[in-house]
């Protein structure tokens, strides 16, 4: 089975057209499929339209959030409820083309675990969308070591075990290819079509830029140090402690062998500050180790609240 997961927020104009295009493309595959549309707290007629689609076609499954929780939470809910061996994600605004789904599936059949779409001819404003995106993609690729041209393209294909492996928070859905690197996932990308937006404006826009940049550092931490945070905090702490100790030895040498006064020297204050900061960071690393163990063993919280589900057999 193939599961198509689509987050939707105030997309009343796009959804009927998207359903028709998606059904046309999926029916040609001659395989079982489901379409999971997650209504991320829409305030227009989106809930009513989704209910009508679900009544018309049992393959359309709807998850409706009580309020707007964000695109990542919508993706996570879709992943959690998907039954397919391959999970396809795409936007609801008609900018992604359902006809590109077979391209992604062909790469999955070749043995890849994640296939990312690359909007090579992106139909978005240059200054507000394309240039910031190019910069962000370059930074993400350099930091994570997973080189993709277009992390922000929602059109992606995942093997089931990869998509369901992570709990997603913040804006982390775009970083799944980088996070999957930790498990040795095979990742590739294919050029896909990208259409101009036909209705309304983007609901998930450039306002997320700062959060995305911060998430880059989180991804680096999750990939390299999530099971050994002491190496991060302890490494920095040990460096500061060592530098403070060396400065202290230098000042002690001056005092003992030259009789110089060191009590009023800023270097003494710096030495003490570095030593204390180093001890504090090492202690933070130890506490982080304990928190990580607690996190892995006890958390079972979802970052969303579901008000209604349709066609899930419940």
Residue 270 lies in a domain: yes
Domain end: 224, 252, 286, which one?
224
- pLDDT tens string 260-313: 887 778 888 899 999 999 899 888 888 887 777 676 666 665 556 677 888 887
Count up the domains in the chain and report the number: 2
**Are 188 and 65 found together in one domain?**
yes
Q: What is the pLDDT of residue 311?
A: 82
Instruction: With beta carbons less than 8 A apart as the criterion, state whether 14 and 41 touch.
Output: no
Measured CA angle at 174 (ends 129, 224), to 5 deg: 125
**Are 213 and 291 found together in one domain?**
no
**Are 49 and 178 found together in one domain?**
yes
Q: What is the pLDDT of residue 170?
A: 67
Of 293 and 39, more confident = 39
Residue 190 lies in a domain: yes
**Are 290 and 161 found together in one domain?**
no
Instruction: Decide: residue 290, CB within 10 A, 0-12 exposed, 13-18 middle, 19+ buried.
Output: exposed
CATH of the domain at 149: 3.90.550.10
Predicted confidence (pLDDT) at residue 82 exceeds the cutoff of 90:
yes
The mean predicted confidence, pLDDT, of the chain is 85
Q: What is the pLDDT of residue 28?
A: 92
Give one DSSP letter per residue of 150-176, joined into a string. -TT---EEEEHHHHTT----TTGGGGH
Of 175 and 82, more confident = 82
Domain end: 196, 224, 252, which one?
224
Q: pLDDT over 70 for what percent of the chain?
A: 89
Domain end: 174, 193, 224, which one?
224
Measured CA angle at 76 (ends 233, 46), to 5 deg: 140
Domain of 240?
A: 229-296
Residue 158 lies in a domain: yes
Predicted confidence (pLDDT) at residue 22 exceeds the cutoff of 90:
yes
**Are 161 and 174 found together in one domain?**
yes
Mean pLDDT lowest among 2-16, 205-219, 276-290: 205-219
Q: What is the pLDDT of residue 266?
A: 85
**Are 199 and 283 found together in one domain?**
no
pTM: 0.72
């Amino acid at each position: 089975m193939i599961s198509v997961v689509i987050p939707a927020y105030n997309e009343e104009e796009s959804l009927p057209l998207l359903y028709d295009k998606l059904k046309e493309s999926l029916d040609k595959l001659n395989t079982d499929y489901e379409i999971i549309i997650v209504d991320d707290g829409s305030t227009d007629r989106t809930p009513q339209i989704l209910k009508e689609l679900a009544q018309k076609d049992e393959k359309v499954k709807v998850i409706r959030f009580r309020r707007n929780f964000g695109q990542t939470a919508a993706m996570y809910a879709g992943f959690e409820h998907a039954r397919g061996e391959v999970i396809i994600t795409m936007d609801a605004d008609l900018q992604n083309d359902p006809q590109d789904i077979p391209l992604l599936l062909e790469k999955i059949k070749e043995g890849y675990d994640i296939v990312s779409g690359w909007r090579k001819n992106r139909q978005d404003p240059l200054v507000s969308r394309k240039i910031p995106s190019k910069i962000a993609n370059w930074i993400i690729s350099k930091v994570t070591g997973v080189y993709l041209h277009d992390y922000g393209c929602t059109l992606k294909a995942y093997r089931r075990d990869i998509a369901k492996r992570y709990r997603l928070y913040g804006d982390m859905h775009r970083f799944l290819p980088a996070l999957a690197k930790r498990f040795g996932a095979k990742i590739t990308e294919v050029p896909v079509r990208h259409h101009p937006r036909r209705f309304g404006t983007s609901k998930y826009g450039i306002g997320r830029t700062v959060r995305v940049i911060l998430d880059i550092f989180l991804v680096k931490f999750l990939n390299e140090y999530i099971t050994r945070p002491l190496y991060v905090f302890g490494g920095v702490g040990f460096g500061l402690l060592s530098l403070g100790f060396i400065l202290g030895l230098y000042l002690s040498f001056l005092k003992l062998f030259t009789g110089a006064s060191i009590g009023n020297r800023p270097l003494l204050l710096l030495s003490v500050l570095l030593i204390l900061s180093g001890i504090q960071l090492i202690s933070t690393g130890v506490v982080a180790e304990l928190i990580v163990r607690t996190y892995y063993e006890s958390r079972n919280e979802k970052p969303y609240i579901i008000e209604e589900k349709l066609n899930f057999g419940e």
